[in-house]
Chain A
């Protein structure tokens, strides 16, 4: 399968990555209608996610990075069936989710959970921490009250909070502690797969490491599979095994973390890397940079051909005319760029010149 390619609307090959596949996402697309006027006439569509194809391997952390509005959260939500796909399929552990009935979906739900970006907004302020964490247990299990209480105590313990805190309300906790509560709720039903949607973005730098270390420990102990959504490329490098880079609803590049950070092939990935400052003055002053010009286009009106072409330093006429295939350049390294395998696509020799 090393030279397999996937073009839009072509049947996808069954395996896109090595290892046991937990989720198979094929040609997933989500358009949101843009409406106008009193009658809410549809005048266009926001192409939030546009024909993305990837696998999630059992036990891995797949990082999903990209700038604001690139479709990261929507991808996560559609994978969990929290939003309905416009087209395409999501197969979870052999079962196709986009077309199954609500009863069956309900039985699958406990196995897939989400941790949200904003721990303030995602926890009901009028519920105690105990009932927030216990809610999924009530909904999806027949646990007795006392079993539930002890499970809640265990969960608080697992995420490093005091079991005595079960009777308190969210506002009595700090941001980092609230995020721990959200994590406790997400793992309450022993899920296989957790979408972490910017779980640390709202936290202070000194608290971020606490939460990331916790997520890593839980993964080791419970064998979790993560989709880790973030715009923080440095944190994704730290936590992910493989990384997908999104731009305007499309995946530009997908490969293992080492290749993505040392030998990226998509011009956007390269520019993204060189835009991220490194906390080291001697490296910063010596770095070669690719600075993109212009602004990110609107996903309601994406450029023809390659969506990145309006900002791409090596774009040609072909890029305006043809959508680049999302193709496997070398084993396990997927790129959507006509010129990914050419010299031009190497915009900087070394992304970070060590001092």
Chain B
């Protein structure tokens, strides 16, 4: 849980898709750091570039139409974006685990859960078959699956949605990765099942020293899990801060709007803030702040210059020309 050295350092990552309708500027110069054992929440609305950012790091996007135009991703002295395919394959699954939203698309339907787990262990470690099987059962137990030895014999379709997602977590954990990237792992689940998974992840955090990047559009889920939050909009990071800081003193007008537009289970009757307008089109490269057309504070500079991400407090950075606290332009 204690955040240590930087394990992953991403800088200026830019990814585009060349489609029939034009170039989609999906990720526009994203940079962030992840420390050992840290839990980083990534939020932002649909299309803001959360998945493409993380998938670009491991070259999991389809290329073409995708193209990683630039940037670096430093992981253990290597730049992931420059790694040879075989070396990258060794990183994927062993040092960086990935959990997708829909486990059915990433679990192999014709192999038993046990086979999939042991294969991953055998591929990435020098365990014997017997050791791998024992470890597989241990992992299922770790993620809260009852009767793990029995369950190893099950096929994915024989498990419920929540159990499949637990299996995915077990597979991601199989080789003691340094980093786990989880892309909306509970979005498809019912809320009582989601609560079970989150509880399991919370317990695991205490026991393992894995850094986690957790993508979600649910600011509630992040509130209870993350150490730090990164807010994305229009393929850029618009704000990042320690979790309490972000919810208590959001600085970016988009973050403020987002938090204000949420109804809360513990409160009644507040008027929901309307973020007017629509999410941005990504067909042209941003020439100003992508949020400007929807922003209540936008002024001329916002339309003509892309606001840089600048430090405004301890570990708190914002990409906005307006200071909502002082009600005056920011000195950047």
Residue ranges of A at the interface with B (Cβ–Cβ < 8 Å): 67-68, 174, 176-177, 204-210, 212-213, 231-235, 237-239, 257-258, 261, 271-285, 287, 289, 291-293, 295-296, 311, 351-352, 354
Contact = CB atoms under 8 A, between A and B. Distances in A.
Contacts of A67: 190-192
Given A272-B192, A277-B220, A285-B224, A258 B268 contact: yes
Given A67-B192, A237-B263, A261-B265, A284 B223 contact: yes
Contact of A274 (B195, B244, B279): B195
Closest CB pairs A-B (n = 6): A277-B220, A284-B224, A238-B263, A275-B195, A209-B272, A209-B261
B55 interface: no
Interface in B165-200: 190-196, 198-199
Tell me if A's interface is mostly helix, strand, loop or mixed: helix
Contacts of B162: 295
B275 A279 contact: no
Given A204-B46, A271-B192, A234 B276 contact: no
Interface string B246-268: 01000000000111011111111
B160 A281 contact: no
B223 A280 contact: yes
Contact of B265 (A174, A237, A292, A296): A237
A238 B272 contact: yes
Contacts of A289: 195, 199
Given A277-B221, A279-B262, A206 B193 contact: no
Nearest to A214: B274
A281 B268 contact: no
Contacts of A287: 224
25 contacts: A67-B190, A176-B278, A204-B279, A205-B45, A205-B258, A209-B273, A209-B275, A234-B265, A238-B272, A261-B265, A272-B191, A275-B192, A275-B195, A277-B218, A277-B223, A279-B259, A280-B223, A280-B247, A280-B264, A281-B223, A284-B223, A285-B224, A289-B195, A292-B192, A293-B196
B205 interface: no
B317 to A, nearest CB: 18
A276 B274 CA distance: 23
B149 interface: no
Interface in B199-218: 199, 217-218
Contacts of B88: none
Contacts of B1: none
Contact of A210 (B196, B218, B276, B279): B276
Contacts of A237: 263-265, 267-268
B306 interface: no
Of the candidates B263, B265, B269, the one having the most CB atoms from chain A within 10 angstroms of its own CB is: B265
B219 interface: yes
Nearest to A296: B190
Given A209-B261, A213-B272, A282 B220 contact: no
Nearest to A284: B224
A239 B270 CA distance: 10
B243 interface: yes
Contacts of A280: 223, 247, 264, 266
A279 B221 CA distance: 7
A279 B264 contact: yes
A257 B263 CA distance: 14
B8 interface: no
Given A209-B272, A278-B264, A292 B196 contact: yes
A249 B266 CA distance: 27
Of the candidates B244, B257, B262, B266, the one having the most CB atoms from chain A within 10 angstroms of its own CB is: B266
A176 B244 CA distance: 31
A238 B267 CA distance: 8
Given A209-B273, A231-B191, A281-B224, A291 B261 contact: no
A234 B261 CA distance: 12
B257 A206 contact: yes
A281 B247 contact: yes
Contacts of B217: 204-205
Contact of B190 (A68, A206, A261): A68
B265 A233 contact: yes
A285 B243 CA distance: 11
B163 interface: yes
Contacts of B243: 281
Given A206-B258, A277-B224, A281-B223, A352 B190 contact: no
A238 B274 contact: no
A240 B80 CA distance: 50
B264 A209 contact: no
Given A67-B192, A207-B278, A284-B220, 8 more contacts: A205-B45, A210-B275, A231-B191, A234-B262, A238-B269, A279-B223, A281-B223, A287-B224
A295 B268 contact: no
Contacts of A276: 191, 220, 265
Of the candidates A234, A239, A271, the one having the most CB atoms from chain B within 10 angstroms of its own CB is: A234
A278 B195 contact: no
Interface string B272-296: 1111101100000000000000000
Nearest to B190: A67
A28 B191 CA distance: 26
B192 A279 contact: no
A247 to B, nearest CB: 10
Contacts of B222: 279
B213 to A, nearest CB: 18
A280 B271 CA distance: 18
B224 A206 contact: no
Contacts of A311: 192
Contacts of A281: 223-224, 243-244, 247
A257 B269 CA distance: 11
Contacts of A261: 265, 268
Nearest to B244: A281
B229 to A, nearest CB: 9
